[in-house]
Structure 1
Amino acid sequence: MTIGAPTDNPDATATAPQSGYGNKVLAVEPGGNEPIPLDARHGNPRGLFWTWTAPNLEFATIFVGVISVLYFGLSFWQAVAAMAIGNLLGAAAHFLLSAEGPLHGVPQMVLGRLSFGHRGNVLPATFMAVMCGVGWFATNSVSGAFALSTLFGVTPLLGLVIIVVAQTAFAFFGHNLVQRFERIAAPVLAVVFVIAAVIIFSKSQVSTPAADGGFSLGGFLLTVGAAFGYTAGWTPYAADYTRYLPPTVSRLQTGLFASAGLFISCTFLMIVGAASVTIGDPTSDNPTEAFTANLPTAVADLTLLAIAVGAVAANAINVYSGAMAFVTMGFRLPVGIQRALVTVFFGVVGFLVAWWALADAAASYEAFLLLVAYWIGPWLGVVFADRLLRKEPPSLALLYDTRYTNWGGVAAFVLGLVASVLLFCNQERFVGYVVRAVPELGDVGAFVGFVIAFVAYLILARRRVEESQRQYA
């Protein structure tokens, strides 16, 4: 079958609405989760560096570093090591998944049908749509709202409305405008945050020992998990932003530029966040105001504006890919504008969730980071086990065959998720049974979930993968 061509399945659509979209920027991206035809492919892997740099130059990234020292009790250098490990693991997964996008030109959640089957894939697609498309949207909107509130003296609610309208508008237009906005925003945001970082490091006390004067394995593993939850939280989106690239581009470059932008931006700002805590105790309950309190007024104002723009950069991607996941679940909507309609829906829902979270942003964010990691770990375990078993590139026909099932993948995912949460979860409302006995484990639920799901898939789905390769050869 021709790469990028639609199948005879109605889900793949015979009209290929993206054919007239090309590289237009101020045009609403048509269609939903169809494969991108060859005449609509454009771009090069280098642009992915900016695509994945801009959305992480925002306060949610900084706050991972803040909680590693302030809440998890690590010293600055312990936090740096833990965050680097978590980010490296997340970026490695992003490398592999991004490289898959150009082959067939389909979204990441459509590729997920290989591992879960057409109907079974609804489960991880639902997790992504709700926890990433709505949860991350709300989380980043809150930081942007606080930044505008501090900068202009408006209420956080009004700041939230401004942020939500801006980011939903970018996502409504779709892929090309989102990519262009990230490319423009990234270098501007980088300059502002580098200036802020220089000042913060000049005032920081990075040699200050950990809260308990030693090394906390539990705090270290909690930080690894939180950093991984943040960085790997982008992996279910990976192919969404490489599917428009021509199928002839280098897989190595595609994965490298995407993962490099992710790793560098996340690690840089998380380290800045950790350093900011060593200056002194927070001076405000408003997290963005507390972060900028030690900066000169002009730099503080620029940083607050950058935080707001960064929130829009992150959520333009969040709501776009959340909508892609929702469409992949199989809901029948007008083909030409289905993704755009769902984008508006997620903007409304995300606004309501963010409004609710304004009251206690810090606690909500800490819990959310680990919740994301709980499902991402088993999902990655299943996806990577499937890729290991497949000897040939996947068939486009299989991806859109509604009759294709792979219940072994669903079972492996559920087993990894449930077992890891029950045994290794470390949340305020629930602590896993193993962690209760060994508190020093911190929270390794995501990594245990990955291993369980990976091994379970190799056992439960091996035969199904072999059958599907023969059937769609």
Structure 2
Amino acid sequence: MDATARPDGPVRGSGAGRVDSLVETRSIDYVPANERHGKVWHQGPFWFTGNFVLTTMVTGFLGPSLGLSLGWSVLAVVLGACFGTFFMAFHANQGPRMGLPQMIQSRAQFGLRGAILPFAAVVFVYVGFNVFNVILATEGLQTVLPGGKVFWYVVLIGVAVVLAIVGHDLLHLVQRWLTYVLIAVFGVLTVGAAVNLDVQSPAGGGCWDWTSFLIVFSAAAGYQISYAVYVSDYSRYLPADVPARKVIWWTYAGAAGSAAWLMSLGALIASALPEPGAIAAVREVGNDIVPGFGTFAVLLSSVALVGIMAVNAYGAMLTTASAVDAFRPVRPTVRVRIAGIGAIAVVVFVTALALPDDYLGNFNDFVLMMLYFLVPWTAVNLTDFYFVRRGRYSITAIFDPNGPYGNWAWRGMTAYAVGFAAMVPFFSTTFFTGPVAEALGGADVSFAVGLVVSGVLYVVLCRGMELEEPDVPDTAPHEGAPAGGAYADRAPEGNSAGKQGGSAPLTHTVV
């Protein structure tokens, strides 16, 4: 995609949605040119650290537990991670072009209220991940530090809330600096694991089993696809004219690189240690290298989990605000952001307390459920952006219930529903196996079915559809030009193509 800005070019700002405050003030609203800032390469370390958490390593445990050899397990997670990241990374290009968070863009495909369907699935993903993360981080800290479960839940969730409230720029800064430390520590840990661990042959000799291979591939792919709902949230402040290839590449390199590394390390550990736990495994392997090194690695891993908890809380707030805004206009204020992040934190805290201690044992089923719900959405969203509208949207209309996107967009909703229904016979989990998956010996290829059915059907349904005039708001920060109705106070009037007397709209062409 190539972006063409206004004649004078985008103005680089110096802060994330703020003028004189350290706290980000924007939420679901459009980021104007004078607030765009940041460097494209920052997407790389952000997504490297975003993926470099113990839950990623747990995904690597799956292959050996199913009887795959180390080699086949590593191949399955690497291919799955690379495949899933492909879809995630292409969403990164939407942020600079549209200047909006990831999920609110779905209104163009599903309608203002129809988008509630994917919104609900996404909030489930955010909350579920944070529940896993706070439980895992607490276990890590309790191996070294005193304090009960409730105490550490409050502390960890509280720190994540503060980071999320300060917002975009602080999250980028924390993730970027954690990258350097994580690479150094886990580089040593990986070498130590490769040298010191005695890999055991799985039952059956570790022969090729395509059913197990596909299960592991799907789990790794689903884990990566789940990050698709995050991406534009952290690229939307980039200048609109940044090269698409660079945004996509840096996102892909960071996310795929860390996932392939940590999942492979998980496969190595699970091939050597009986019934490994993420915390115990990291501590044991590290302490075998240098006494205390494993303990430090566990503490660092817990800190990294707090970072991604903040990222999850931030995204959950944006998605929830987008859902509420479809029924009652939401002003993009700091108070709204604090309320949304606080509400999500309470839900995570209560859910984590209510779950049994063996909840982490259901992690792979959770990943597969994410895959099932998110695959039809990513297929529709990417197909619309790259093949139907080709990156040309009316940003103003995304906030207007009377605009061309409407409240209920039947094409996107139909493509999602049909794609999801087509996947059901291919589902393969511990609690449900579809008839086709059962005939295939438990192999799960539902993701491929969902991608193809939802994507192709959406293109077919959009044939002959009249496309809206693309526009972008042209206002100073938080100054909306009334467009009429209840949405006037936060849907600034855009300059659409052909409008007399306005400046040229931001246009871009997908290549």
Distance 2:470 2:188 in 1: 57
Amino acid corresponding to residue 106 of structure 2 in structure 1: G
Q: Is the 8 A contact 1:172 1:344 kept in 2?
A: no
Question: Offset at 1:157?
Answer: 3.8
Query: Percent identity, aligned pairs only?
Result: 27
Question: Kindly tell me: are residues 432 and 43 of structure 1, through their superposed partners in 2, closer, same or farther at Cα, counting changes over 3 Å?
Answer: same
Q: Is the 8 A contact 1:171 1:317 kept in 2?
A: yes
Q: Helix, strand or coil: the match of 1:120?
A: coil
Alpha-carbon displacement from aligned partner over 1:42-100 (angstroms, at most 9, x marks no partner): 11101111111112221101101112212x32111111111111111222112211012
Distance 1:394 1:431 in 2: 40
Counterpart of 1:308 in structure 2 is: 302
Distance 2:191 2:396 in 1: 53
Q: Is the 8 A contact 2:43 2:247 kept in 1?
A: yes
Question: Kindly tell me: are residues 246 and 437 of structure 1, through their superposed partners in 2, closer, same or farther at Cα, counting changes over 3 Å?
Answer: same
Q: Which has the larger displacement, 264-273 or 100-109?
A: 100-109
Counterpart of 1:408 in structure 2 is: 411
Q: Is the 8 A contact 1:142 1:361 kept in 2?
A: no
Give the counterpart of 1:362 among 335, 360, 363.
360
Question: Offset at 1:453?
Answer: 0.9
Q: Is the 8 A contact 1:64 1:273 kept in 2?
A: yes
Distance 1:25 1:221 in 2: 52
Alpha-carbon displacement from aligned partner over 1:241-291 (angstroms, at most 9, x marks no partner): 1110111212111111111110111110111111011223136xx541244
Q: Is the 8 A contact 1:57 1:310 kept in 2?
A: yes
Question: Offset at 1:24?
Answer: 8.0
Counterpart of 2:507 in structure 1 is: none
Q: Which runs of 5+ in 2 are unaligned?
A: 7-12, 472-495, 498-511
Counterpart of 1:336 in structure 2 is: 333
Q: Helix, strand or coil: the match of 1:439?
A: coil
Q: Is the 8 A contact 1:134 1:350 kept in 2?
A: yes
Question: Kindly tell me: are residues 153 and 377 of structure 1, through their superposed partners in 2, closer, same or farther at Cα, counting changes over 3 Å?
Answer: same
Counterpart of 2:127 in structure 1 is: 134
State TM-score, norm by structure 2.
Answer: 0.83
Alpha-carbon displacement from aligned partner over 1:82-129 (angstroms, at most 9, x marks no partner): 111111122211221101211231111122222212221121112112
1:51 and 2:46 equivalent? yes
Distance 1:56 1:25 in 2: 32
Counterpart of 1:121 in structure 2 is: 115
Q: Helix, strand or coil: the match of 2:420?
A: helix
Q: Helix, strand or coil: the match of 1:462?
A: coil
Alpha-carbon displacement from aligned partner over 1:20-47 (angstroms, at most 9, x marks no partner): 7557897221132110011111111011
Question: Kindly tell me: are residues 138 and 151 of structure 1, through their superposed partners in 2, closer, same or farther at Cα, counting changes over 3 Å?
Answer: same
Alpha-carbon displacement from aligned partner over 1:440-459 (angstroms, at most 9, x marks no partner): 5x222222111111122122
Q: Which runs of 5+ in 1 are unaligned?
A: 5-17
Question: Kindly tell me: are residues 19 and 198 of structure 1, through their superposed partners in 2, closer, same or farther at Cα, counting changes over 3 Å?
Answer: closer
Q: Is the 8 A contact 1:109 1:236 kept in 2?
A: yes
Distance 2:32 2:202 in 1: 56
Q: Which has the higher helix share?
A: 1
Q: Is the 8 A contact 2:126 2:312 kept in 1?
A: yes
Instruction: For 1:74-153, list aligned pairs within 5 A.
Output: 74-129=68-123, 131-153=124-146
Amino acid corresponding to residue 295 of structure 1 in structure 2: G
Q: Is the 8 A contact 2:53 2:301 kept in 1?
A: yes
Q: Helix, strand or coil: the match of 2:40?
A: coil
Q: Helix, strand or coil: the match of 2:173?
A: helix
Amino acid corresponding to residue 323 of structure 1 in structure 2: M
Instruction: For 1:143-292, list aligned pairs within 5 A.
Output: 143-206=136-199, 208=201, 211=204, 213-282=206-275, 287-292=278-283
Question: Offset at 1:306?
Answer: 1.5
Q: Helix, strand or coil: the match of 1:301?
A: helix
Counterpart of 1:27 in structure 2 is: 22
Q: Helix, strand or coil: the match of 2:113?
A: coil
Question: Kindly tell me: are residues 420 and 306 of structure 1, through their superposed partners in 2, closer, same or farther at Cα, counting changes over 3 Å?
Answer: same
Q: Which has the larger radius of gyration?
A: 2
Alpha-carbon displacement from aligned partner over 1:406-440 (angstroms, at most 9, x marks no partner): 2110111111113312x011112211121122225
Counterpart of 2:438 in structure 1 is: 436
Distance 2:21 2:353 in 1: 30
Question: Offset at 1:364?
Answer: 2.3
Alpha-carbon displacement from aligned partner over 1:307-355 (angstroms, at most 9, x marks no partner): 2011112111111111111111115445312223201111111122222
Q: Helix, strand or coil: the match of 1:411?
A: helix
RMSD: 2.5
Q: Is the 8 A contact 2:17 2:26 kept in 1?
A: no
Q: Is the 8 A contact 2:137 2:302 kept in 1?
A: yes
Question: Kindly tell me: are residues 88 and 213 of structure 1, through their superposed partners in 2, closer, same or farther at Cα, counting changes over 3 Å?
Answer: closer
Q: How many residues align?
A: 452
Question: Kindly tell me: are residues 226 and 459 of structure 1, through their superposed partners in 2, closer, same or farther at Cα, counting changes over 3 Å?
Answer: same
Q: Helix, strand or coil: the match of 2:464?
A: helix
Distance 1:294 1:156 in 2: 25
Counterpart of 2:479 in structure 1 is: none
Q: Which has the larger displacement, 326-335 or 160-169?
A: 326-335
Question: Kindly tell me: are residues 19 and 220 of structure 1, through their superposed partners in 2, closer, same or farther at Cα, counting changes over 3 Å?
Answer: same
Question: Kindly tell me: are residues 245 and 141 of structure 1, through their superposed partners in 2, closer, same or farther at Cα, counting changes over 3 Å?
Answer: same
Question: Offset at 1:3?
Answer: 7.3
Distance 1:353 1:123 in 2: 22
Distance 1:449 1:25 in 2: 46
Alpha-carbon displacement from aligned partner over 1:227-253 (angstroms, at most 9, x marks no partner): 111111111111111110111212111
Q: Is the 8 A contact 1:26 1:177 kept in 2?
A: no
Question: Kindly tell me: are residues 275 and 378 of structure 1, through their superposed partners in 2, closer, same or farther at Cα, counting changes over 3 Å?
Answer: same
Distance 1:265 1:20 in 2: 28
Distance 2:86 2:169 in 1: 25
Question: Kindly tell me: are residues 276 and 46 of structure 1, through their superposed partners in 2, closer, same or farther at Cα, counting changes over 3 Å?
Answer: same
Question: Offset at 1:206?
Answer: 4.8
Question: Offset at 1:358?
Answer: 5.2
Q: Helix, strand or coil: the match of 1:36?
A: coil
Alpha-carbon displacement from aligned partner over 1:196-254 (angstroms, at most 9, x marks no partner): 11111112345735655311211111111111111111111111111101112121111
Q: Is the 8 A contact 2:118 2:374 kept in 1?
A: no
Question: Kindly tell me: are residues 289 and 37 of structure 1, through their superposed partners in 2, closer, same or farther at Cα, counting changes over 3 Å?
Answer: same
